[in-house]
Chain A
Amino acid sequence: MNRRTMLAGAAALAAAPMVVPGARAQAAKTKIVFWHAMTGANNDEINRIARDFNAAQDAVELEPVFKGSYPETLTAAIAAWRAGQAPHVVQVFEVGTGTMLAAGPAVKQVWQLVQETGAKIDPAAYLPAVRGYYSLADGRMASMPLNSSTPVMWYNLDAFEAAGLDPAKPPQTWQEFVTVARALKDKWASKSQDLMASTSSWFTWAQLETYSAIHNVPYATKANGFEGLDTELKLNGPAQVKHIQRLLDMAKEGSFKYGGRDATPDPLFYTAKAAIGFGSSAGRADIVRNAKFRWAAAMLPYDPEIMRSPNNSIIGGASLWTMTAPNRTPAEYKAVASFLQFIGQPVQDALYHQHTGYVPVTLAGYELSRQQGYYDKNPGADIAIKSLTRGTVTENSKGLRLGGLPEIRNIIYEEFEKALQGQQNAQAALDSAVARGNVVLRAFEKMAKG
């Protein structure tokens, strides 16, 4: 290559960027960026929402970006805000609500957005169980619910039949569950070393947080943290210890297998390795896509010795927070508000619910799905909603509002994993979790008070 060719090439390269901007100048849409943590079928849904939103109007262009797991997305958003480059909207899991509420100027809460942009977002349109988790004490909404789920019990009908159990009668109490799991272990899981009678995804959420709500026992003082930052953990009470010890005993016996943290055990159910898998109701989309066997969903069992008639379960999932940035314009906030309004439309809410397994967050969305006959055609698709509205809401079943909850969940995972290895029993594990968790709560309280 001689010098002339090189010079010509370099000139061409330098001139190239000048050609492109012409094409960019014509679109004057407000661009907003949305960071989320959805994977698999749920990821496709987010992209579908973005496509539909962008097609429905031409003032705003929404760009969804997958940022990793929930903790990774939150960390990325915080780091981005510190660098002055926060996304417009970020999906933060429910246990990050405490952190986001203490974020001060970093976020614009929904009621603030409504005030500033005049958007029409009415808190009363949202399901109470969902709304309450993400609102301030006086009812003003802080974040916008998008995907709310609740733990359900997925079970494999073919495996039930193979083990001689009635597939139409899933276990309703924990005592029944122990028997059923034992039968599955002896007659179904024994066929191969890969199979297990039962497992649980989101272990801390399903087996401790929701368990406490259903049985009306406190997870933490001050109404699980809703009433004050000076809350202390109470998850080592007799009810919780009894349940964790029960699961430890089942693990030792082989009728329950711990599959790892958070959503890691999800594939175990839909690849037919686990006959019963506790998991998020939002796992429905992946199960529909992957399961090659007959399955159904049921509500979480309860322990009649502790609570005669069980209460509602609590939500999981995430909500959308609006973030601020030094150079953000009012037009961008207006764009965000229009997106939040879009996902609250009954049609959109119903579609999202039906495609994913998350519950409809608006009453109108739920009603629309019912009118469309969705629950008649898909029996069991409303288990999650039924679970969220069972019994009466008490101060123990409104959900949790604890700072540092991701770290506390991690501590519980560590203590439970130690107990699984036989290093401690349930009481010791939960006591240790409470002691370590309270340190996290006190540090958060100190920081939030500034």
Chain B
Amino acid sequence: MERRTIFPGWLLPVALVLPQLALTVVFFLWPAGQAIWSSATRTDPFGIHTRFVGVENFADLFIDPLYIDTIWRSVLFCVCVAALAMGSAMVFAVAADREIRFRGLYRILLIWPYAIAPAMAAVLWILLLHPQIGLIGRWLNRIGVAWDYKLNGFQAMLVVILASAWKEVSYNFIFLLAGLQSIPRSVIEAARMDGARGFFRFRTVVLPLLMPTVFFLLVVNLVYAAFDTFGTIWAMTSGGPGKATETLVVKVYRDGMVNQDIGSSSAQSVVLMLGVIVLTALQFRFLGRRSGGA
């Protein structure tokens, strides 16, 4: 049954939509347009000499093996963060869905980290994992593990994935819990009476019913890992050591703000934007269809 609201004229609908449209234009379309224009120019830091260079910035990017490395590194990072964040959230959501004591308290504690700014999450994890001043960091060194994420690229990657995923677990938890609670009890009861137990029941009955939520969260998590993790990575490792934790978004910042190469940085932004658009479009096409639309 469809519900539609019919407006008598066109003035009121336009006036109602205008504020949001204005926000979208000013904060999304205009900067994006500016970035696309910038990506086709080469300019000095002060913007005094600007030259139009067409696709030269993009060409320079793709013939640079370091940039290709950064792309693969970002893909790895996004996949790991999404998997870790969604996996943990799923475990917590299933656990918190049961009738246990202090259920409300667990839920609150699991949701809290969402309110923390990305850079603060980084600071918290530094205080835990820093080889000289972090609780866990010092302990690891004491028991003989050579723990120093400022020198070891693999450890650095581990640390930023952990800190980034941690922040997103709360968001996923809320949605998965809501999704679990929207599954009719009768379906679970029926499955249980038919003899489906534990993980088997989860895999064959619960998970398929959760697919719309999972699909939605996958999109959000990948976009989060691609963009919103900048604060966390920058505060923890600044993309180092070497280039071990330099993802695409970190490179955009470094080239634009630190190295003052606006043209290349804009080109990288455009590439990142296109990449995520394509990814999201593909997801909507394939996964969206399978789960019957989000």
Contact = CB atoms under 8 A, between A and B. Distances in A.
B68 to A, nearest CB: 15
A417 B241 contact: yes
A194 interface: yes
B42 A447 contact: yes
Interface of A: 71, 75, 78, 81-82, 99, 102-106, 193-194, 258, 260-261, 268, 273, 404, 406-407, 410, 413-415, 417-418, 420-421, 423, 440, 443, 446-448, 450
A404 B151 contact: no
Given A78-B46, A106-B46, A404-B259, A194 B132 contact: yes
A261 B240 CA distance: 10
B97 interface: no
A414 B49 CA distance: 30
Contacts of B241: 414, 417-418, 420-421
Contacts of A420: 151, 241
Given A406-B259, A410-B259, A99 B240 contact: no
A448 B49 CA distance: 8
B87 interface: no
B260 A104 contact: no
Given A78-B45, A414-B243, A407 B151 contact: no
A103 B48 contact: yes
B152 interface: yes
Contact of A261 (B49, B238, B261): B238
B132 A421 contact: no
Contacts of B243: 414, 418
* Most chain B beta-carbon contacts within 10 A, residue among A268, A417, A423: A417
B113 interface: no
Contact of B48 (A104, A273, A443): A104
Contact of B258 (A71, A415, A423, A448): A71
Given A78-B260, A260-B150, A421 B242 contact: yes
A75 B242 contact: no
B258 A414 contact: no
B228 interface: no
Contact of A103 (B42, B46, B153, B240): B46
Contacts of A193: 138, 141-142
Given A193-B142, A414-B240, A104 B258 contact: no
* Most chain A beta-carbon contacts within 10 A, residue among B45, B132, B150, B257: B45
Interface string B208-222: 000000000000000
Contacts of B151: 258, 417, 420-421
B240 A417 contact: yes
A287 to B, nearest CB: 18
B280 interface: no
Interface in B247-268: 254, 257-261
A423 B242 CA distance: 10
B234 to A, nearest CB: 12
Given A258-B151, A413-B240, A417-B242, A407 B44 contact: no
A337 B132 CA distance: 46
Interface string B1-45: 000000000000000000000000000000000000000001111
The 4 A-B pairs at the shortest CB distance, nearest first, are namely A417-B241, A418-B242, A407-B259, A450-B49
Interface in B65-88: none
Contacts of A404: 259
B292 interface: no
Contacts of A102: 44
Nearest to A103: B46
Contacts of A261: 238, 240
A143 to B, nearest CB: 15
A292 B46 CA distance: 45
B132 A75 contact: no
A407 B48 CA distance: 20
Contacts of A103: 45-46, 48
Given A418-B241, A440-B259, 19 more contacts: A81-B46, A103-B45, A106-B48, A193-B138, A193-B141, A193-B142, A194-B138, A260-B150, A261-B240, A404-B259, A414-B240, A417-B151, A417-B240, A421-B153, A421-B242, A423-B242, A443-B42, A447-B49, A448-B44
Nearest to A446: B42
A426 to B, nearest CB: 15
B138 to A, nearest CB: 8
Nearest to A262: B238
A172 to B, nearest CB: 29
Contacts of A450: 49
B242 A443 contact: no
* Most chain A beta-carbon contacts within 10 A, residue among B142, B152, B259: B259
A447 B43 contact: yes
Contacts of A413: 240
B261 A104 contact: no
A421 B258 contact: no
A335 B134 CA distance: 48
Contacts of A418: 241-243
A82 B258 contact: no
A268 B153 CA distance: 22
B47 interface: yes
Contacts of A106: 46, 48
